[in-house]
Structure 1
Amino acid sequence: MLGLGSVARKVFGTPNDRKVKSSRPLVEKINALEPEFEQLDDAGLIAKTEELRQRVAKGESLDDILPEAFANCREGARRALGLRAFDVQLLGGIFLHRGNIAEMKTGEGKTLVATFPAYLNALSGNGVHIVTVNDYLARRDAEWMGKVYAQLGLTTGVIYPQQPEEEKREAYAADVTYATNNELGFDYLRDNMKSELNQMMQRGHNYAIVDEVDSILIDEARTPLIISGPSQDRSELYRTIDTVIPLLKDEHYTLDEKTRNVTYTDDGNEFLEQHLLGAGILPEGQTLYDPESTTIVHHVNQGLRAHKLFTKDKDYIVRDREIVLIDEFTGRMMAGRRLSDGLHQAIEAKEGVDIQPENVTLASVTFQNYFRLYDKLSGMTGTALTEEEEFSEIYGLGVVEVPTNRPIARVDEHDAVYRTAREKYEAIVGEIKKAHENKQPVLVGTTSIEKSEFLSQMLQKENVPHNVLNARQHEQEAQIVADAGKPGAVTIATNMAGRGTDIQLGGNVDMKVMQALAADPDADPEELRSRVAAETQAEKEKVKEAGGLFVLATERHESRRIDNQLRGRSGRQGDPGRSAFFLSLEDDLMRIFGSERLENVLQKLGMQEGEAIVHPWVNKSLERAQAKVEGRNFDIRKQLLKFDDVQNEQRKVIFGQRREIMEAEDLAEIVQDMRHQVVDDLVDRHVPAKTYADQWDAEGLYVAVLENLGLDLPIKDWVEEDGVDDQVIRDRLYEKSDAFMGDKTDKFGAENMRQIEKQILLQTIDAKWREHLLTLEHLRSVVGFRGYAQRDPLNEYKNESFQLFESMLDSLREDVTQKLSQIRPLSEEEQQQMIARIQAQRAQVQAQAEPAPKPGEAEAEAAAPGFVEADPATWGNPGRNDPCPCGSGQKFKHCHGQIV
């Protein structure tokens, strides 16, 4: 009997069906325009783009021009790539433009889908960012889809690591910019550490389309992006602690795999104390419970986590004597990414590689808060529905399931559960051999490098040829994936999320053509392509007869999405396919999340060696376990976000203030307000209002004014005058300090003084913000304990961080006022010393960086006529950003115009 919900869905359709149905008329409008756009020549397509741009500039909405823009884009893609978008691809583009996540199955052409909303939104002139999961995809998609945008008269850019600044600036200025989430986040932080507007790269956050949106906005959202600088070297401490950890026995610590947490027992603490005293790390008479031992306890805890929670070849690999982390979701190496709080150093000590110094945070942001900066956000993935609640709650994004172009013909089998891992792997090898002999390609999914290599060894013993795709084979990734659909191919992969290359039955024609051309460069490309296409088609038919791609998973992942991503590799574009999961009671998920009951059932059934239980109930119970883990991970991310939201409000204020300072031509008013506020604070402190003169601290005020304002004033005499109150003193200090700074401005020159004020303001803000971030980190690490006192840690964090922020702003005003009061023009002797120092530095840099000029070769740039190194009067009056008249090629402000 059908439930009420099922009956209602049959009558009214699901909300998803209604969204799809309501958008169909728009697709029909686009299709109706197709003949008109086919008649346009190439110049006509570009002219159409210009016309649409003009209409948007005059106030027409993007929704109004959508049918024409999509029709133009479809025709541009057909001419540039030979690809005509299907109706379902247009539907996907419409949902993306409306700020949704479009769930589209693997092989449905998401890369092309993104061009439609990107083109439409780029017409506003504010730029569009298309976000990918790795640099390879960013470059590939920018080059591939860039042809479509060029056909339509738009520019395309790509952002990648270690990119030259000028090239990066051009890429951000392009109409459509492809980049990874990491580079976008880091550039945002770097921009907000710059000291001049023209050094900033990003030009705002208009619209972003996030590819593999679940991977970027959910899986990677647990880790904030951090720009850090080195702090003191503690490598010996890590090495010494690392000699103690391996001596621990099981009774010295408790390990909770569910929460990935490990702590010392009382016995463990005693054991540690003895060994740390013996090693000289813990001073005589001091215990681990003393406040002075906080740093040691922290490092000892990190040492324990490094040994018990982080496994080589699963969580990291050792490459060129460096620890390289592995992304648990994609199985890729994360070069340059480091764990914070000394954990990375503890792993380096464990593996005996060089220990890099710890870092202090200079700036940080979470992906959640970075992507919420965009005016409009959308995303694409094959698997989003399981995380619909999180997308809606955190990002305000709806999820729309876009129908496939052809019905899915894949057969998804029930999970097979074995008693032991050995039995499971033997069954897997048997299945692979059978499929290989039938010429059916097999994609085998594993959860770690270690397991993929273990299975590889088993297949080698059975003489089954195969490819392994994990973090170690990162460079050959596209080739391995492209070959995975050939008849009888066996491919073992750690994770298939965001691989970017489709597994096509029979093999990938483009890849085969590229290989053939590399082997024989003189071959005719057209003739070669038609021959390769014919061969591939024949092989595709063989694979179809064998049952299509067989996806065989060796374990369930913590997240249903990752399993679905793997499954989705089979059965693309209506191809036949098959998927099966082989599990054992020794798998991590089964072991951690209640395999006892299942084991009892298996024992009662009296299962034989090598026999498996296959039943829909098993699938249901496993999905419930996965849903529990997903729920817990969502709670962790939500909690992380609540704390980061507090910091984010402060980050916006500071970054906004920095930008205002950089945009301002004249900061004299801001600086004066700060100075007057400092005066108010000093007077309030030493000469409180509505008090008698004998209660005033004239001596203290004199010292504070001398220290903070640089003024030696007869304050004691003022206090003794008749009729003087706190307001009179305040007004006199305003007047004297303003006159003092006005005199300085005359000596330096107004333009120089403005630049000095700007640089001092920015430098002080940056230094104070760094200190504040460190204080917030420390507050965050201890505030959790307030829960024991029945106080909400989040509220405590909000209140205290707000107080800390206020006191930071107070000290900022004092620091800026103090620094400005202390600056003075250089004496002639100091100028000579500075010039000598600059010359020495330049000579050193040139000796290191440039080859010696050949005899008779002229210098690159001559000094300005009449320029005399020792006489500033001959330097002319260059602007701070003009080339230095000495001919060094540097800006004046970085050379002879330095302010010391």
Structure 2
Amino acid sequence: MFGAIARRLFGTANDRIVKGLKKDVEAINALEPAMIALSDDELRGKTEEFRARLADGTDLDDLLVEAFAVVREAAKRSLGQRHFDVQLMGGMVLHNGKIAEMRTGEGKTLVATLAVYLNALTGAGVHVVTVNDYLAQRDAEWMGRVYRFLGLSVGVIHHGLDDDQRRAAYGCDVTYGTNNELGFDYLRDNMKFRLEEMVHRPFNYAIVDEVDSILIDEARTPLIISGPTEDNSDLYRLVDRIIPLLVEGDYEKDEKQRAVTLTEQGTEHTEQLLVEAGLMKEGGNLYDITNVSLVHHVNQALRAHKLFTKDVDYIVKSDKVVIIDEFTGRMMDGRRYSEGLHQALEAKEGVSIQNENQTLASITFQNLFRLYPKLAGMTGTAMTEAGEFQEIYNLEVVDMPTNRPVSRVDADDEVYRTAAEKYEAIGTLIEECRTRKQPVLVGTTSIEKSELLSELLKKKNIPHQVLNARYHEQEAYIVAQAGVPGAVTIATNMAGRGTDIQLGGNLDMRVRLELSEITDDAERAGRIKAIEAEIETFKAEAVAAGGLYVIGTERHESRRIDNQLRGRSGRQGDPGASKFFLSLEDDLMRIFGSERMDSMLRKLGLKDGEAIIHPWINKALEKAQEKVESRNFDVRKNLLKFDDVMNDQRKVIYEQRKELMQVEDVSDDVAAMRHEVIGELVARAIPERAYAEDWNTASLHEEVLRVFNLDLPIAEWAKEEGIADQEIRHRVTDAADRKMAAKAAEYTPEIMRMVEKSLLLQILDQAWKEHLLQLDHLRQGIGLRAYGQRDPLNEYKREAFNLFEQMLNDLRERVTSVLAHVELRVGPSESEVQESLTPKAPRQMQESRQDPAFAAEAEQAGLSLSTVRNPATNPNDPSTWSATPRNAPCPCGSGKKYKHCHGAMA
């Protein structure tokens, strides 16, 4: 109560932040006449003036007012758009490293230009992060006009660019790109072998568009680069045939946790089926240590059949299982579920099964974006997740006022007993809106439901457009025209569409599509005027009919997604309305105990076709959504805690790689490794304070021979009077050093330095890859430690540290041994050695993302990839077969793998 009184008297903390920004807004407005008076060249010259002042020690904050005034004027001249006062305030929030929550239609894309320009003046680069390639390219071209007008360079990162193009784009003052591309470039950079091959510059400042979608929704799924492992496709198919034979009592399904497990009865039934299929021995136990792989395949096939639904979680297209993004409804080509789940789905759907992969590099979005010294974001819906932004990213959310008051009317939800009644009510409302020419946007949660609703509207002869993953390519045009009078648009999740719904239609989109082939300027100008007049007429009709009516066909598990849908209506003070229709058969209602409500509604006499409408229902649903959001936050926090353990190790390895690439001569490092290895070998064979008769000289002789290829008379040395372990260590060290010095003299010191550096990097990468695999395996089983009253996270930290220490020890020995044994052919040139030593990138590498539903279960997991036959391989020419991948079918046609056939002879 006292808090409410205080807020009424003094305003909220958010109000005080917004109020504090108004002083700078007034100062920017005061500069507008002076900016208008400048010529284009004089305005452009301000950029160099600001840079000179920064070089003289002026702070960025001191330039804010003038820089924002310059950008506003440049936008007027290059785009014909002038920043509103609230947009100036949004730019200040972004510059201060915070999140600006701005409603849909408030012009977030234009807001970003202010903070981007100011921070790009330092020359260290600014990244603008978007949710898809289309928006990255569109915004780079659209807002790029402002930056180029002011003399800044603009780059864009999108799929399909080579390294040179990426390096040039990152070298620009302003770089647009998707979160995935930026992340995968970071991982790929840390797999390169020369500094000049890396594409990223040091991270400086990033603005994340749709920040809630990228830093919250997608943060449950690590980015993974992986390479191929053994082919297990036959096993997936055989196990897949067993799952449909299980009966209901054989498994338990928990939809809240997205988990399914075999019961005791189910385990016995599965064992019987596996024995009949010849996959397990008679009398065997499914959970025997020898059946670990079989258990894994059974669990993944069970998940594929019982938790995943075609056209909801994925679609089948061109002999592939393509994931549907649960937040945006888009197809995610190239992204695969982890831990063999994708292969299980491929077996279920009868499409080609692609090989599983092993993790080569991985990072979560939390740790990727925490690499930026300064981070900001913008979205229409962030306040519901303000606590998570503060805790994970140290980002404060500021709720920005709208340019014009919101006049949208949000009706209470209507709850029906059955889905059929609900859809009938939705159809009736759409008919009413069509009659008065009111545009309608209908939001669904899956492709399946959007197509169900589409069928219903077809029966009622209501023309409409469907926007979902199947019609992804047309999305910008469909969204842009959704505000035309009488238009009915069905959309699967509206998050991050990046295009406003303008009442009457979108002028830019229509000009681009309808006038693309008209080259005559006079004709083009005339047609544009006609389109403008038509849009104004349409807008007046739509406004008179009540503006855009947003209909939600059910509540999403996240309030933000519902708010994003609602926010499509009522932009820039336009009229509008929204209403959600629910049924007790909806997933959210069903999972959170709708059975009691159903029986209660029957007792109260609710008839078929009648709805219950009450604000209490809305509050109850919000509570249910908050529970789901809280659980998802816990999943992300848990993922981050585990990834933080690996992140510390990743930083050490990546920093070490970078340092190694920066120096020409690593001989001191190699020598230090060699001496440490000798120290460990001697310490193992000659324990401290041990008598000479207890020394294991035979073991030391074998180890020195194995590691250094040196046959030393260690047993003879041990017989010498008064000799100590330090003397033996010194003699072994001296012999090893002399051998390496002789090698350097034979091959020339320059070539030896190149060999050392190249081999050290390659062996480091191999050791890191193997370490990641060990962490994968450790992570997958660590949860079981909780049954022994031990904290899985602490156990993971302890064991991960021990594994890392072991990896470093093994690394030293492997580097030392390889360099001691390496032989080069006599007389190669430096360029030939450089060419032969430069490793080629692993073929068939794949960039992947985990399944969000199971992100908590494994931080990084091996993902899958098909074996691609080398096009240079000719089945009729055995001389070309050497390029065949070892796990690919042999080109001879035997049906065996290459490594078991002609590859075994190679």
**TM-score strictly above 0.5:** yes
Distance 2:703 2:49 in 1: 65
Distance 1:59 1:827 in 2: 57
Distance 1:740 1:464 in 2: 86
Aligned pairs (5 A) from 1:550-561: 550-561=549-560
Distance 2:652 2:465 in 1: 52
**Higher RCO, 1 or 2 (CA under 8 Å, sep at least 6)?**
2
- Partner of 2:280, secondary structure, is coil
- Partner of 2:632, secondary structure, is helix
Aligned pairs (5 A) from 1:647-796: 647-796=646-795
1:177 aligns with 2:175: yes
Deviation, structure 1 residue 59: 2.3
Distance 1:226 1:825 in 2: 36
Distance 2:712 2:523 in 1: 90
Identity of aligned residues (%): 62
Which whole-Å deviations, capped at 9, do the CAs of 1:385-420 have from their partners, x for residues lacking one? Answer: 000110000000000001100000000000000010
- Partner of 1:515, secondary structure, is helix
Distance 2:259 2:537 in 1: 54
Alpha carbons 2:156, 2:175 under 8 Å: kept? yes
Distance 2:827 2:388 in 1: 65
Distance 1:737 1:262 in 2: 58
Q: Residue 419 of structure 1 aligns to which amino acid in structure 2? A: R
Distance 1:449 1:364 in 2: 31
Aligned twin of 1:372 = 370
Aligned pairs (5 A) from 1:577-592: 577-592=576-591
Deviation, structure 1 residue 601: 3.2
Distance 1:539 1:20 in 2: 36
- Return closer, same or farther for 1:670/1:555 CA change in 2, 3 Å cut-off: same
Distance 1:703 1:39 in 2: 85
Aligned twin of 2:485 = 487
Give RMSD over aligned pairs.
1.9
Structure 2 counterpart of 1:516, from 514, 517, 520: 514
Aligned twin of 1:337 = 335
- Partner of 1:777, secondary structure, is helix
Distance 2:833 2:574 in 1: 74
- Partner of 1:358, secondary structure, is strand
Q: Tell me, which stretches of 5 or more residues in structure 1 are unaligned?
A: 842-846, 850-900
Alpha carbons 1:772, 1:805 under 8 Å: kept? yes
Structure 1 counterpart of 2:295, from 281, 294, 297: 297
Deviates more, 1:625-634 or 1:33-42: 33-42
Structure 1 counterpart of 2:239, from 229, 241, 249: 241
Distance 2:827 2:255 in 1: 69
Deviation, structure 1 residue 66: 1.0
Alpha carbons 2:438, 2:485 under 8 Å: kept? yes
Aligned twin of 1:606 = 605
Q: Residue 351 of structure 1 aligns to which amino acid in structure 2? A: E
Alpha carbons 2:210, 2:377 under 8 Å: kept? yes
- Return closer, same or farther for 1:63/1:427 CA change in 2, 3 Å cut-off: same
Distance 1:507 1:519 in 2: 21
Aligned twin of 2:476 = 478
Deviation, structure 1 residue 829: 13
Alpha carbons 2:751, 2:833 under 8 Å: kept? no
Q: Residue 538 of structure 1 aligns to which amino acid in structure 2? A: T
Distance 1:691 1:557 in 2: 71
Which whole-Å deviations, capped at 9, do the CAs of 1:25-47 have from their partners, x for residues lacking one? Answer: 11111112222222222222222
Alpha carbons 2:747, 2:826 under 8 Å: kept? no
- Return closer, same or farther for 1:830/1:249 CA change in 2, 3 Å cut-off: farther
Aligned twin of 2:500 = 502
Distance 1:363 1:10 in 2: 52
Alpha carbons 1:103, 1:380 under 8 Å: kept? yes
Q: Residue 619 of structure 1 aligns to which amino acid in structure 2? A: N
Distance 2:321 2:395 in 1: 37
Deviation, structure 1 residue 834: 12
TM-score normalized by structure 1? 0.91
Which whole-Å deviations, capped at 9, do the CAs of 1:471-504 have from their partners, x for residues lacking one? Answer: 0000001110011000000000001111011000
Which whole-Å deviations, capped at 9, do the CAs of 1:781-816 have from their partners, x for residues lacking one? Answer: 111111111110100000000000000000000000
Which whole-Å deviations, capped at 9, do the CAs of 1:11-58 have from their partners, x for residues lacking one? Answer: 110000000011111111111222222222222222211121122223
Which whole-Å deviations, capped at 9, do the CAs of 1:723-749 have from their partners, x for residues lacking one? Answer: 321111222222222222122112222
- Partner of 2:176, secondary structure, is strand
Q: Tell me, which stretches of 5 or more residues in structure 2 are unaligned?
A: 841-869, 873-906
Alpha carbons 1:747, 1:825 under 8 Å: kept? no
- Return closer, same or farther for 1:211/1:834 CA change in 2, 3 Å cut-off: closer
Aligned twin of 2:401 = 403
Alpha carbons 1:443, 1:550 under 8 Å: kept? yes
Aligned pairs (5 A) from 1:119-138: 119-138=117-136
- Partner of 2:623, secondary structure, is helix
- Partner of 1:524, secondary structure, is helix
Aligned twin of 1:810 = 809
Which whole-Å deviations, capped at 9, do the CAs of 1:676-730 have from their partners, x for residues lacking one? Answer: 1101111111122222211111111111112112222222222222232111122
- Partner of 1:443, secondary structure, is strand
Distance 2:824 2:641 in 1: 48
Alpha carbons 2:747, 2:827 under 8 Å: kept? no
Aligned twin of 1:570 = 569
Aligned twin of 1:547 = 546
Alpha carbons 1:421, 1:585 under 8 Å: kept? yes
Deviates more, 1:34-43 or 1:614-623: 34-43
- Partner of 2:515, secondary structure, is helix
1:196 aligns with 2:194: yes
Q: Residue 22 of structure 1 aligns to which amino acid in structure 2? A: G
Deviation, structure 1 residue 527: 2.1
Distance 2:66 2:706 in 1: 68
1:621 aligns with 2:616: no
Q: Residue 52 of structure 1 aligns to which amino acid in structure 2? A: F
- Partner of 2:143, secondary structure, is helix
Aligned twin of 1:897 = none
Which whole-Å deviations, capped at 9, do the CAs of 1:557-579 have from their partners, x for residues lacking one? Answer: 00000000000000000000000
Structure 2 counterpart of 1:149, from 122, 147, 150: 147
Moved over 3 A (4+): 518-523, 827-831
1:87 aligns with 2:85: yes
Distance 1:751 1:529 in 2: 68
Distance 1:611 1:680 in 2: 83
- Partner of 1:142, secondary structure, is helix
Number of aligned pairs? 838
Q: Residue 218 of structure 2 aligns to which amino acid in structure 1? A: E
